[in-house]
Amino acid sequence: MTSQLQTKKLALTSSNYHSKEANKEYMSVSQFKGFIECEAKEMAKLTGAYIEPQSNAMLVGSYLHAAFESDDVFRTFEEENNKAIYKSRGGKYSDFEMADSMIETLKSDPFAMFAIEGEKEQIYTADLFGATWKIKVDSIHHGRLSFSDLKTTQDLHKRYWSDKYIGWVSFIEAWDYVLQMAVYRRVLQENLGQTYTPYIVAVTKENPPNKAVVHFDESRFEFEYEYLDMKMERINEVKQGIKEPIRCEKCRYCRGSRKIIDTIEVGALIHE
């Protein structure tokens, strides 16, 4: 494994960070989550056999992040995605009008803006759990030894059932944002030699939007590191081609590529 990690040479930039080449060489939180959800789909994405369609929600999320990166970045994003944002007869589509409301909600809150102060979209890499990871930090403040990530959600207090945690959890645990902050924290420790404190700045898609700045109890990270340690051995083996990826048979990729090879009994329809 050591020799494999040492061969990684691709220097990451904003332009190639999400490229197929970068994803092949580096592990990321989104890639890890992809492997947990469906190994077959994630491998198909890495080989280029499957291109996941961009959802409108992803575009709105990028729009929101661009608004807090810089005026120039936001202006460029609007120009490049003009047809997706603006109606032909004028005005923005409702999702982007809502995003503007969310942006204004955060910009008008001094504490929220304090929490997202710092250098934007900084890239770091580090060797962890048998792989070389890449992260891009929304905002990092070296003076306060803190970093923050901007997240959107339907409702701050909505509950979700989690098989991972075996219980009801918040949106932050449901979408593995605790795991994301744990990885970012470790990667920053490897690079900067100090422990940075993570925060999530959350804003909702309600009218009017709700918002919160969320911190984490230290004990939450140890669970995530144990979880990563438990899962990464197989993920590394699948990614390297040592083991065959398992299909989930439920995701968009599996539904589209599935071949029927036998019949199933009625009861299996609700127990798979």
Name the CATH architecture for the domain at 2-53+109-257: Alpha-Beta Complex (3.90)
> By percentage, how much of the chain surpasses pLDDT 70?
97
Mean pLDDT of the 216-233 span: 96
Q: How confident is the model at residue 272 (pLDDT cuts 50, 70, 90)?
A: low
Q: So what's the pLDDT on residue 73?
A: 93
Return the minimum-mean-pLDDT range out of 28-37, 48-57, 157-166: 48-57
pLDDT of residue 270: 82
pLDDT at 235 over 50: yes
| pLDDT score of 2 | 41
Does residue 5 surpass a pLDDT of 90?
Answer: no
Instruction: Calculate mean pLDDT across residues 98-115.
Output: 97
Average pLDDT over residues 22-49: 97
The pTM of the full predicted model, rounded to 2 decimals, is: 0.91
Q: What pLDDT does 141 receive?
A: 98
Q: What is the pLDDT of residues 85-102, one digit of tens each?
A: 999 888 999 999 999 999
Q: What's the pLDDT band for 9 if we cut at 50, 70, 90?
A: confident
pLDDT score, position 90:
86
Residue 164 pLDDT > 50, yes or no? yes
DSSP string, the chain: -HHHHHT--PPP-TTTTTSHHHHHH-B-HHHHHHHHH-HHHHHHHHHTS--PPPPHHHHHHHHHHHHHH-HHHHHHHHHHTHHHHB-TTSSB-HHHHHHHHHHHHHHT-HHHHHHT-SEEEEEEEEEETTEEEEEEEEEEETTTTEEEEEEEES-TT--EEETTTTEEE-HHHHTTHHHHHHHHHHHHHHHHSSPPEEEEEEEESSSSPPEEEE---THHHHHHHHHHHHHHHHHHHHHTTSSPPPP-SSSHHHHHH----S---GGGGGT-
Residue 7 has pLDDT above 80, yes or no: no
User: Confidence band (pLDDT; 50, 70, 90) for 55?
Assistant: confident
Binning pLDDT at 50, 70 and 90, where does residue 6 land? low
List, for residues 185-223, the tens digit of each pLDDT value.
999 999 999 999 999 999 999 999 999 999 999 999 999
